[in-house]
Structure 1
């Protein structure tokens, strides 16, 4: 295995397209609504945003490893670990993993500084808030991701929806638009749903090591109902975007992409829910999120081409 393949696995790069989709949506909004587009700004924005996303996942893995949460999941028959496995298996030593993690933050900050000189104060505002949320999700003394009060879910909506969509639009135009709040909701909510569903795979071992997620605080049954609620909110946000003409009305066809996920939820009766079905739900949530995002991008492009 070459170094690039190792990095892809250690960074869990299969989740990065969630961030890339948000950046593309915000960039396309600037082009469609304002006819403003700079390729090099878009590339720097994409690199910085994806580096920040990788940093957030790797710093999460690093502190979960240090807290014992990931090791507990690996050693338990009642959990499936969702980390990269590069620390718990010893593929990378802690020092190497830490250096790569902070390097990702360095790349993100370098891109933010460059974009600040090009576009203005909004870059520092959104970038600073994003870095704060990524760092202190698991890092002491704040560790808001372990609070068990919905703070992590709210942060996911912001970090993987609102901030990248608004930021990628801002660097192209130099201003914000109220419509961006609506445009960011579908991906923000679907990404939050995906990350929320991964907690079902190791909530019992999370509880043992003091990791307080909503699933730990509420238990599996109540948390599963909340997962359904998140999906409903995401679907309603698509309809809201279409009604508000943030996306073209015909873009509601993207709702069809949610049918497999909806069927999965209806099949997961209490007696049929286990680690394997929750694992299937996680990956189906990720696939649905990517499909939604890609279809919204197609709708944005079509609206640009046909002028509606």
Structure 2
């Protein structure tokens, strides 16, 4: 583990940028950016366009370590280059921003109110590649849609089974059991989730550390105890479909929780903007998210 990166994530001021849309969510992300589906004819062209979008964000003068601690990448982004350097190296060496990698293979079908992560037989090889590419940590997402005690326990079990595998490689996992903001039982799901997260965290040994990426909770400061847990480097929040304004408002009410926004970060950016307009929009977005993270 890179100790300088760890220090930055654990104690730095700022938030984590989520730039990890993958196959399923990429067309939507491109559309919001002003690139319609008729602009590409296959997956390769689609990913080239999304890499151009991410490159424009990452190389922008507004995207700096003064406000951004880390960035979560999709595997293809990690495998690509920015200005002649592997993306993770560019982030750390040129920007001082810690690189993370999304490692899950997407969500399984909804079952008992939850979507577990799909099987990931190639995970070990992917983690080895991440280490070669100088990645600090990983991220994996599952989703809770409705209250089902057994299913929610299973979601957290799956997250921590993989977290241990990742920790054993010397990487730091971001555990992300998202609760849908549309869940009619969101509050009950969040209460049980906190209990289960704490149970697993208490079982980790010294030196086994994670980040938690969680939905902005209905009850303010619900995650306070988790933010103080000795096995938690940081608790970060996903925007989860809230507008940036609402996500920032909710975030500011939760002490010691910082943002890890995807849609909330890129809201308002478009391919058609001049560099000046793009920088101004990104600068405002980053500043607002930063301020909400520092509340």
Fold-level similarity (TM above 0.5): no
Structure showing greater Rg? 1
| Larger proportion of helix | 1
| Larger proportion of strand | 2
Q: TM-score, normalised by structure 2?
A: 0.30
Q: TM-score, normalised by structure 1?
A: 0.29
